[in-house]
Amino acid sequence: MERKICTKCSKCHTSTVSLATLTYDVEIDHDGRTYHVHVPDLVTPKCSNCGQLYFDDESSEQISRALRK
Ligand SMILES: [Zn+2]
């Protein structure tokens, strides 16, 4: 299935958003605790102009999988 992403960046208003693979670190509050989640190969839409990251269903799922580990 082809992954559909929005190529328009809502931050800098250029159409330079494309899928990028990156290392992503985030703190997530879950069940009253803060978890440090490290995703070494997150594939998510990113604006190549301003660097803004966007999360779609697939990358959100990738993050929640990393959280459950
Ligand atoms: Zn942008």
φ, ψ at 50 (rounded to 5°): -115, -10
Residue 30, pLDDT score: 85
Residues whose beta carbons lie less than 5 angstroms from ion ligand 1: 9, 11-12, 47, 49-50, 52
- Comparing 7 with 3, the larger pLDDT belongs to 7
Reply yes or no on whether the pLDDT at 1 is more than 80. no
CA 69–ligand 1 middle distance (angstroms): 32
CATH number (1.20.120, 3.10.20, 1.10.1240, 1.10.730) of 17-68 reads 3.10.20
Q: What is the pLDDT of residues 18-62, one digit of tens each?
A: 999 999 999 999 889 999 999 999 999 999 999 999 999 999 999
Burial 4-41 (b: 16+ CB within 10 A, else e): ebeeebeeeeeeebeeeeeebeeeeeeeeeeeebebee
CA 17–ligand 1 middle distance (angstroms): 7
Residue 3, pLDDT score: 87
pTM, whole model, 2 decimals?
Answer: 0.84
Residue 49, pLDDT score: 98
